[in-house]
Amino acid sequence: MIKNFFEDVKNKDKKAIAILSAVVITLIVAIVVVAMLVSGGKSSKKEKDTTTTVKETTTQEETTTEKKDEHKGMVRSQLTGKWVKKSIGTRRPVGVMLNNIIDAVPQTSIERAGVVLESPVEGGICRFEAFFEDYDDLEKIGSVRSARTYFVYYSRQFDAIYCHFGQARYALDALNSPEIDNLSGLEAVGNLVYYRTTDRVAPHNAYASADGIKAGIENKGYRTKLNKGYEGPFLFAEDGEEVELTNGKKAEKIVPGYYVNKPWFEYDKKKKVYKRFQYDGEHIDDLTGHQLKYKNIIFQNCKYGYYENSPYLNIETLGEGTGLYFTNGKYINIKWKKDEEFGQTHYYDMNGNPIVLNQGKTWICFITEEGRVMIDDKEVNK
């Protein structure tokens, strides 16, 4: 009986040991399986990350290739810094004198100009020189008015062919200089280049066309391509970059202070451009009806006088001076410098570094009376 008791206990211990062993084995197997699953998951994640990186690299390479293909046969515009067809960006632009008296506004095709220079002439009236590179389809550009010396000189900024209908006699020396190629409406070639309309009275009804300009250039035998190695006076931001003037001051309304047309610019925060106004309203293009908009604005302070016994201004653009540069709702003080009468004007920050313009169109104002400049309703350089 005692023997049976011990054998029964022994058998129960064996059963307990067996159960315990089974539990231990099961736990070990479970741990191994979990470990394998975790290890397998990490391995998959690494492979996924690697695939993503490769894919991103491939995407970047494809994007670079696409950009190269996109810009194939194109060059940077010297006027706007944007990509344009090589045939457009390597030919000489035209600088067209545009009328801005009240009887001649709005101008036609001015919206297509990459750069516009505005400056006073006699009587406080302002006149424009608009620089066009992409004008092949334009049938009406104008109205075109007469030359002034400082506009003639500025046409050399962009190696442009200067288009005008007559001139003040003081501009004749500059126009007759070998450095200037010009198309005058008062010469025989004018019959090819310009025509008059009946919707306005003379002298506010003279217009040029793309075909006329090309015919005039051919007739005069002018060089059609930019000089080899030519580089424009402006530096532009790279693609995808924006000049923000982080150390600049706010400038949401800009007034150059001209007496007659009383223009101003207002910053559009959404489109990040300055809208142009004059004569108490929006400044539009007669061809499109669009308000003029500009990415960059430069005020160039210039000394001036008058030609002897005349009302004609003699604005000094040779040498150096100060100014203001506006973009993206801010402005900085700048310096300008021009070493040769027919050379280029270069613009610098106050530390002597060339300023960088944002890609897009630029409006330049010759400022002869600094005290009239207003920024956000406050006088500047008083």
The fraction of the chain above a pLDDT of 70, given in percent, is: 82
| pLDDT of the residue at 55 | 32
Q: Which residue has the higher pLDDT, 50 or 43?
A: 43
Q: What is the token pair recorded at 381?
A: 């350089």
For residues 157 and 134, give the distance between their C-alpha atoms in angstroms, rounded to a whole number.
Answer: 17
Mean pLDDT of 15-19: 45
Which residues, in sequence order, are CB contacts of 101 under 8 Å at separation 6+? 125, 204, 260
For residues 175 and 242, give the distance between their C-alpha atoms in angstroms, rounded to a whole number.
Answer: 38
For residues 77 and 93, give the distance between their C-alpha atoms in angstroms, rounded to a whole number.
Answer: 10
Mean pLDDT of 75-90: 96
Asked if 181 and 159 count as a contact pair (C-beta separation under 8 A), the reply is no
Q: Which residue has the higher pLDDT, 353 or 43?
A: 353
Q: What SS3 state is found at 234? A: coil
| pLDDT of the residue at 69 | 73
pLDDT tens string 282-296: 999 999 999 999 999
| pLDDT of the residue at 70 | 81
* Sequence-ordered alpha helix ranges (H) in 71-171: 86-89, 149-154
pLDDT tens string 116-157: 999 999 999 999 999 999 999 999 999 999 999 999 999 999
State which amino acid sits at residue 18. Answer: A
Residue 300, sorted as left (phi over 0), alpha (psi -120 to 50) or beta, turns out to be beta
| pLDDT of the residue at 43 | 38
Q: Which residue has the higher pLDDT, 16 or 377?
A: 377
Tell me what the pLDDT averaged over the chain comes to: 86
For residue 381, name the pLDDT band (cuts at 50, 70, 90).
Answer: low
β-strands 115-120, 83-85: how paired?
Answer: unpaired
The answer, yes or no, to whether residue 80 has pLDDT greater than 90, is: yes
For residues 164 and 161, give the distance between their C-alpha atoms in angstroms, rounded to a whole number.
Answer: 10
* Sequence-ordered alpha helix ranges (H) in the chain: 2-70, 86-89, 149-154, 172-175, 190-193, 210-220
pLDDT tens string 158-179: 999 999 999 999 999 999 999 9
Q: What is the token pair recorded at 183?
A: 């198309």
Q: What global pTM score does this model have? A: 0.82
Count the Cβ atoms, other than its own, within 10 Å of residue 140: 15
DSSP 46-68: HHHHHHHHHHHHHHHHHHHHHHH
For residues 196 and 206, give the distance between their C-alpha atoms in angstroms, rounded to a whole number.
Answer: 5
| pLDDT of the residue at 140 | 97
For residue 6, name the pLDDT band (cuts at 50, 70, 90).
Answer: very low
| pLDDT of the residue at 27 | 52
DSSP 169-217: GGGHHHHTSTT--EEETTSTTHHHHEEE-SSS-TTTTEEE-HHHHHHHH
For residue 382, name the pLDDT band (cuts at 50, 70, 90).
Answer: low
